[in-house]
Structure formats: structure tokens, C-alpha cells
Chains A and B, each alone.
Chain A
């Protein structure tokens, strides 16, 4: 077709030369004049594809690679708070961060927070998906109601959470009051922690719900029916015949949820602790922000974010190395 649309250029040489721009040398040595697959788009100017790719590349570079390099670089410097200069300090920033009791405490809380948020959002998402999958009448209304929460932006979710736990109007505070407990979110460390976990879980459950539900619907009806004949107990059947088929979904969600708990809960935490007295639970990401943008300790904050990056990298590697082996992809 390209020959027809560009009759002026020499049709024999061009497609072969341009194909070389796209293919790796390993596959290229095949005889050049072989007709290109019909679906592949051929460009006449070698620069054209790069122009098309440019916006994406620029975005990735500006918002990902450049800040990453910046973070790694500045983690080895102590920067003047007013931006007048930076001193190279080697790994001192790392040593300070990892050696600090406060940092260790926050790391401990972050671990607990991540485990709880991930476990509860995955568990509840799965539970709702299994239940919603069985609903026949009014299924779409039911599902929409469950998914709707996902459309709420994290800061708004945090705000709503704050209202639910408000000292004066919060229904959860009233509820705790009925049991004789005076809940003080924003003042009591563990009260704040529970509220934080609850809101973070609530925000993430719909996401997991969507994936688990579609995962469940991807399981062939006949396999479920075969299991119904083979196994009487509903729970055993679910555990042995259905759950293993959801493993790829669950594995994907596990990684996403850990990342969510580590990073994306920032907005929720921000809304909940911003104007509150000091002794409140924080996660590592929030501390990065606190130290860097409030404490103006750019170097220390950069070192912490590099540590965080390494933690996520290691976690993901472990998951792929150890967990994925047990995952069965259909």
C-alpha cells in the first residue's frame, strides 16, 4: 500500500531501509525485500516516529528520570535551607536517617500500616467480589454502589474520613462513646492510626473489588460446576478450586496494594495529621515530605526517598521471585 501512496520514491529500497529502524539486528538479517506484515505502519521519514514518541518520552524524562537522578544526587549532599549552596557529605544522610530512633519508629509503623491496609483491602475486596458475583437480581446497582467509592479523590476521602471521626460530629466517635471509649482522633496515637487505616482500606476496597470480580467472572462456569459436583463444602470448594484461579489477579493486586499503602495513602494521611498536634502516626512517605518540604532538609529527605525506592524494589523482586512461582496463569 505504501508503494501506491508514494509512487515518487523508489519503492524497492525504502521499506527495507526504514524497517531497519524498527527491527533489532537479530531479526533484521532476514532477506530485506520480504514483504512487511500488513499491519505494520511504515514511515518515510526516519525522524517521524521519534516525533510521535517525543511527548511520551519528554513526560517520562521530566517527571520520572530527572527527579530520580536529582533525588539520588541530592541524597549525598546537605543543602543550605535557603538554596545558596550544597555540601557533599557522602552517605551521612543515609546514616542519619537509618540511625534515628524516630525514623525507625516510623518505619515500624509504616510496615504495620502497610500490612494491615493491604490485608484488609484485599480481604474485603475479595469478600465483596465473591458475594457480588452471586447476586443475580439488581446486580448492576449493587456493583455500582460498591465501585462508586473508587471515584472519590484521596484528599476528599481523607476529608470525609475526618468528618466521620470528628470530635464533635463524627459518628464513629459517638459509636465508640456508646461503648464507653473516648476516641480522640488527631490526639491519641492509636486512635489516629486506626482511623487512618480504616479510611485507607475503605478507599482501596473498590479497586480490589473490580479486579477480583472480573477475575471471578473469568473463571469458566463449567469449572465451577465441576467443582460443585466434586466438592460439597462451599468454603473448601472456594479455597481449593476457585481461589487458585484468582491467584494471578491476587498477585497483581498485592503489588498494587503494597504500593498504594506505602505511597498513595499520602493524601489521606496529610488531611488527617496536617493541623494536628505532633505525636501522630506517619508513614515513611509522609516523613519524606515533612523533612523535605517543611523541615527544608532536602538532602535527608532525598536519602529517605531513595531508601523507600530500594524497599519497594526489593519487595517487588521478592514477590516476583517467591510468590509468582506459586501463581498459576491460566
Chain B
């Protein structure tokens, strides 16, 4: 078990003009579950692979525990990795797959056997120990890949999109299993995914990456309720946060011809981007004029797609509530996020009522 420190780390591939990962700083505490999330090409896998030692570090330092590992062989970094396509050795049985890393580290035989047996028990792989990977299902293979990591008892687990090859239902089950296992072992974990739901449900802390840079770091709900930019706002949460073009004039927020019925905000005037979560909008007697386009039924709730002032908008409604083609919507002042239109960064404007929205998650 160990902490991981990533300081000023960047990566430029040979021949590439721009850096794939630039200037990343991240402190991972011992036992923490960190999820790196972002769209494809954001550099999350590259960052993980640099920690693993599979990718050379162009600049900066990675330390695992108190040791700088930049120049240390992957096998000596005391990490175990779980790959997206499992990366099991096809010619070895499940047992041999799990024992391989230990055998190469000259672990005594009885100890290997004990650890493999323990991992097999934990992951319910007992009946399959003598099978070859090709005789296993996708979920079982993924469990073997986890078992291979677990038996090593490493300082850190590195997960590279381990669930993307599984079907949706299995993904949910395995997600729970990974979380349970990590809680139980208390091993520091770094987990890469492009699935924001996976990221939200697994992470102690989320790291949202975009274009090789960290966009925001924080606990899942903190990020959900306080996105630092329009990118994070639209990436985290499903459905994505509504982003609307609006203006602030004299402290009043106006959307097209409608003025939002909220307390005045100070410190900015001119065009802004408004962010409103679908669940924060409620039908009211007065407010934003909304025209319904179509409805998605999810069972527990329904997503109503439509537009306000020519801009698309989604809101979630209780299925019991009546639907109308035209509605008026209101939103609590504290639930309105304001972003700079050009930079996309969050504008934390002076507003007394904002405090309410900041309830610690």
C-alpha cells in the first residue's frame, strides 16, 4: 500500500507536435480510489501507462510510496494492472495465470498456492482454476485478470478500462465487485474509464481530463454539483447538463426575451453560458417558456426533450406529473450554474443564495 504522487508529468510522443499529456499534478492518498475520466484521446490511458511504466515519462516525476519510479522497471514498481481486453496468457491455466507474476518474483510455492486459493475464493474462481482462458466467459476472464492483480498484493492497482469489453448488465455487477474488493483490500487504485457513470459510482475522487490536461479533481458529487467548466458540466451526469446562451445585464439573468426570476448576481455582465441540470427544472405557473419535442420514458422518471427560446433543453419529470406541450419552467437560483461563454470556465459570482447549493455532498 502506498500513496502515488504525480508531479508536473507530461508526455509527448516522438514525432508528435503537441503533448498528449501536459503538466499533470495529482496526489493520490494511500488506499484511495481515483478514477481518471474523459473522452477518448484525453490522455487518461497515457497517464495510467506512465504510472505503470509501460510508457516513458517525457517530463515530471511519478512517485509510488516514497520512491521516484521514473527509471524503475515496470516489474519493480510494485503495481498490478488490469487491462481492457484482460491480457490473460492464453497458454496458461487460470491458476498459472495468477501464479505467474509471483513465480517470477520467487515467492515460495506454499505462499503462491495460499494466495491463489484466497483470490480464487474471493472471486469465485475455484471451479475454473485448471481451465484455459479461452474456456471462460468474458466476465470470468475479467475476474481472472483481477485475481492476477490481487494475488500480487501490490502497492497499487491500475485499471485500464477493465469493464468496457463486458455487456451492460455484467458491467454493473463487476463494477460493484471491483468496488467491494478495493474497499476490502484497501489498495490504492487508479482507474481509467470513459464512462462517466462508472466514474461516478466507483471513485473516491474523480479526475476529469480533457485534451491532456486536468479539468477538475474532486469527489463525484462535488463535481456533479459544482462543475468547474462547461466541459465537465456536459461530461459528468446523465442526461448532460443543459447549457444555454444567456446574458447578464445589471445583475439580472435573461434568456432571450425572458428574465430569470432569481436574485441578482454581481461581478459580471454580458453574455454567459447558463448550466441547469435536468432535475433542477420544475413546471411552474410562471418562468421559462418551454415547448415539448418528445419524451423518453425511463420508468422511474421521464426525460422531456424540448426547447426554450430556440435552444434545446431536457428536464426530468415524475411520470405521475401531467405532460403538456407548452410549459413554464422555474429553477432555484442556487441551482443555476454560470460559465464564461468564451473560456467555458465557471464564474463564481457573488450571490448570497449560492451557499445553499454548496451543501457538502
Contacts and interface: CB of A to CB of B under 8 A. Distances in A.
Counting chain A CB atoms within 10 Å of each CB, the highest count among B76, B84, B87, B148 belongs to B87
Interface in B206-234: none
B73 interface: yes
A247 B74 CA distance: 26
A102 interface: no
A233 interface: yes
Nearest to B82: A226
Nearest to B14: A136
A220 to B, nearest CB: 7
Given A232-B76, A233-B104, A227 B89 contact: yes
A240 interface: yes
Contacts of A222: 83-87
Interface string B306-319: 00000000000000
Contact of B81 (A229, A231, A247, A330): A229
Nearest to B54: A225
Interface in A262-293: none
B105 to A, nearest CB: 8
Contacts of B83: 222, 225-226
A244 B80 contact: no
Contacts of B53: 228-229
B237 interface: no
A245 interface: yes
B90 A229 contact: no
Interface in A216-270: 220, 222-223, 225-233, 236-237, 240-241, 244-245, 247
B76 A226 contact: no
A230 B75 contact: yes
Given A236-B104, A240-B100, A328 B91 contact: yes
Contact of A228 (B54, B80, B89): B54
A230 B100 contact: yes
Contact of A241 (B52, B75, B89, B148): B89
A230 B81 CA distance: 9
Contacts of B76: 232
A228 B104 contact: no
Nearest to B83: A222
A244 B91 contact: yes
B90 A245 contact: yes
Contacts of B81: 225-226, 229
A220 B87 contact: yes
A240 B75 CA distance: 15
A225 B87 contact: yes
Counting chain A CB atoms within 10 Å of each CB, the highest count among B79, B85, B91, B134 belongs to B91
Contacts, number: 65
A8 B1 CA distance: 81
Contact of B73 (A232, A236, A328): A232
Nearest to A226: B87
B13 to A, nearest CB: 11
Given A244-B91, A245-B91, A229 B100 contact: no
Nearest to A219: B90
Contacts of A227: 89
A228 B81 CA distance: 11
B126 interface: no
Contact of B89 (A226, A232, A233): A226
B75 A229 contact: yes
Contacts of A328: 90-91
B65 interface: no
B287 interface: no
Given A222-B84, A222-B85, A236-B104, A229 B52 contact: yes
A231 B73 contact: no
A118 B309 CA distance: 79
B139 interface: no
A226 B89 CA distance: 9
A27 B81 CA distance: 49
B101 A223 contact: no
A232 B104 contact: yes
Given A236-B104, A240-B100, A231 B87 contact: no
A223 B54 contact: no
A227 B103 CA distance: 12
A10 B349 CA distance: 84
Contacts of A241: 89, 100
Contacts of B85: 220, 222
Interface in A175-226: 220, 222-223, 225-226
Nearest to B99: A230
B288 to A, nearest CB: 50
A231 B104 contact: yes
A236 B104 CA distance: 9
Interface in A105-140: none
Given A222-B85, A230-B75, A330 B90 contact: yes
A113 B261 CA distance: 95
Contacts of A245: 90-91
A230 B52 CA distance: 12
B240 to A, nearest CB: 31
Nearest to A233: B104
B138 to A, nearest CB: 15
Contacts of A237: 104
Contacts of A232: 73, 75-76, 104
Which A-B residue pairs are the 7 nearest by beta carbons? A222-B87, A230-B101, A232-B75, A226-B87, A328-B91, A231-B104, A244-B91
16 contacts: A222-B86, A222-B87, A223-B88, A223-B90, A226-B81, A226-B83, A226-B88, A228-B74, A229-B53, A229-B79, A230-B100, A230-B104, A232-B76, A236-B104, A245-B91, A328-B91
Given A229-B54, A231-B104, A328-B90, 17 more contacts: A220-B85, A225-B52, A225-B54, A226-B81, A226-B87, A226-B89, A226-B148, A228-B74, A229-B53, A230-B101, A231-B75, A231-B100, A232-B76, A236-B104, A240-B104, A328-B91, A330-B134
